[in-house]
Amino acid sequence: MKNRGFTFVLLLALSLNTSSGQEHLWSDASALTIPHRRFETGFFLTPARYGISDSLEISSYLLWEYFIPNIAVKKFWGLNGDFLISSMHSLYSPTPFLRFVSREKTGGLLPPDNYVPFFLVFDSYLLVSYEIAQGHYATARVGGKLAFALGDRTNDYPAYRRLQTIDYPFIFPRTAFLTKTPAFAPDGGLSGNGPLVWNLEYETSFDFFYFSVRDNLREEDFTCSAFEWSAVMKWHISHGVSGRLGVVYSTGTFPFGRSWVFYPLLDIQIGFGGLPPP
């Protein structure tokens, strides 16, 4: 009897999310792109996106543009059997951020006398999605980051003034590989997303990072890895407003050993356009 009750609730939930879905109006972790002329942006954690066409979108973290200038494109290439294929490519520079946090006062994460070269980072990823149920996608992402230091004069400075690592989960795997450039840092992940009930959706992901690090103080090289899991609930209040609430768990190897931390995820998104004519 309990099994029958559970089955009834599950079928009811599926019928509700099928009838009230947003027909992929909002962006998600799958290989799909947002519709043509659709614009959406978050205020804290999600980038601004614009649909150049139904298969091409551009994006940028506008709030962080001053600290980390960035631009990205996502291209949907089509179907290969039952699999959806896309690629993502971006260009950014973490140099302003690293120089900003090289201070003794509030916000200081690096010694104030650290030399920070001008970095350019290119990243590219292949996304392959599979629709496991109506509106529910499982997506694999594989690729990595390629970093260059332009006009690098690191060798002109003593070891204690060369770039050090920021030993905090979440930041470390995204910046530590810059201590040894040119550098390639592969990473990838698995994600799942889909509708729940009414206008609620879920999104969860598992991401893995693998990279080499140069300990400039000890003048040693070592290899690190990091793992992150996140779970987010989305509430699409309307075609123009959406909220996100979730958590991310980050763990990995550091120069001092292993560490882990939980971070809350909170954002509000607004969007315009992308709807078919009435």
Q: Is the pLDDT of residue 237 over 60?
A: yes
- The secondary structure of 12-72 as a DSSP string is HHHHHHHHS--TT-S--SSS--PPTT-EEEESSSSPEEEEEETTEEEEE-GGGTTTS-EEE
Express each pLDDT in 103-112 by its tens digit. 887 768 899 9
Q: What percentage of residues in the chain have a pLDDT greater than 90?
A: 75
Dihedral pair phi/psi, residue 107, rounded to 5° = 95, -5
d(CA 54, CA 75): 9
What integer pLDDT is reported at residue 105 of this predicted model?
74
pLDDT (0 to 100) of residue 61: 94
pTM, whole model, 2 decimals?
0.86
> Residue 130 has what pLDDT?
98
Query: Any bridge partners for residue 265, and if so which?
Result: 246
Q: What's the pLDDT score for residue 70?
A: 97
Length of the chain as a residue count: 278
Could you tell me what percent of the chain has a pLDDT over 70? 90
pLDDT tens-place string over residues 21-77: 345 789 999 999 999 999 999 988 899 999 999 999 999 998 888 999 999 999 999
pLDDT of residue 17: 36
| Strand-pair partners of 41 | 270
pLDDT of residue 16: 36
The tokens for 121 are: 């980072």
pLDDT value, residue 14: 36
Is it the case that residue 207 has pLDDT exceeding 90? yes
Mean pLDDT of 125-132: 98
For the segment 262-277, the average pLDDT, to the nearest whole number, is 89
Mean pLDDT within 141-154: 96
> Which is nearest to 26 in space by CA: 258, 228, 199?
199
**Among 36-40, 156-160, 242-246, whose mean pLDDT is lowest?**
156-160
- Average pLDDT over all residues of the chain: 89
Q: What is the pLDDT of residue 23?
A: 52
pLDDT of 169 > 90? The answer is no
Q: Which of 66-70, 165-169, 263-267 bottoms out in mean pLDDT, i.e. has the lowest? A: 165-169
78-99 confidence digits (pLDDT tens)? 999 999 999 999 999 999 999 9
pLDDT attached to residue 278: 62
Show Cβ contacts of residue 208 under 8 Å, excluding neighbours closer than 6 positions. Answer: 187, 188, 189, 225, 226, 227
